[in-house]
Amino acid sequence: MSQQIMLEVVTPHRLELQKEVEYVVAPTVDGIVGVLPGHIRLITQLATGVLRYKIGGQDNYMAVSEGFMEVTPHKVIILAEAADLPEDVDVEQALEEKRQAEEVLHRSFTEKINFDQAEIALERAVTKVELAKKYGENK
């Protein structure tokens, strides 16, 4: 049996995932970071994107939004603002969230609003739509 590393994905609402995995590939603000068992210690800022991890020889995916990743030789902890498995994403709802975020961004040129919040919401919605379409059960 190959070596494994514990992966925990935690949001403000709950523990989303806790599994022994073969590897983790995470989106960070500095680019994609791959983690294998025995990795050196690392703390990095997470970017909104798709988290990939392998269990039993099969790749699995999860959309994650902003946060931090802590890596030790035996464990990866993802602290994310939000995390969604492909089967949990309602594509219609995510498309509506995307539309609303785009509308807010468009208004930001004429009204005083929080541009950063709208940009984050748009990025999160786009990631969820891409995740569900690419890896969801209803491909």
pLDDT at 1: 44
What rounded mean pLDDT belongs to the chain? 88
Assess whether 43 and 104 both reside in one domain: no
Assess whether 80 and 19 both reside in one domain: yes
Which of 61, 84, 107 represents a domain boundary (last residue)? 84
pLDDT at 13: 94
- Treating both helix axes as pointing N-terminal to C-terminal, what angle do 91-107 and 115-135 enclose, rounded to 10 degrees? 150
Q: Mean pLDDT, to the nearest integer, of 35-43?
A: 97
Residues spanned by the domain of 107: 87-135
Which of 48, 65, 84 represents a domain boundary (last residue)? 84
CB atoms under 10 Å from CB of 96, counted, come to 12
3-state secondary structure (DSSP) of residue 28? strand
Residue 113 has pLDDT above 70, yes or no: no
Paired with 37 in beta bridges are none
Assess whether 55 and 102 both reside in one domain: no
Assess whether 14 and 54 both reside in one domain: yes
Paired with 69 in beta bridges are 44, 78
Which of 43, 67, 84 represents a domain boundary (last residue)? 84
Q: Mean pLDDT, to the nearest integer, of 105-124?
A: 71
Number of domains in the chain: 2
Q: Mean pLDDT, to the nearest integer, of 35-56?
A: 96
Residue 127 has pLDDT above 50, yes or no: yes
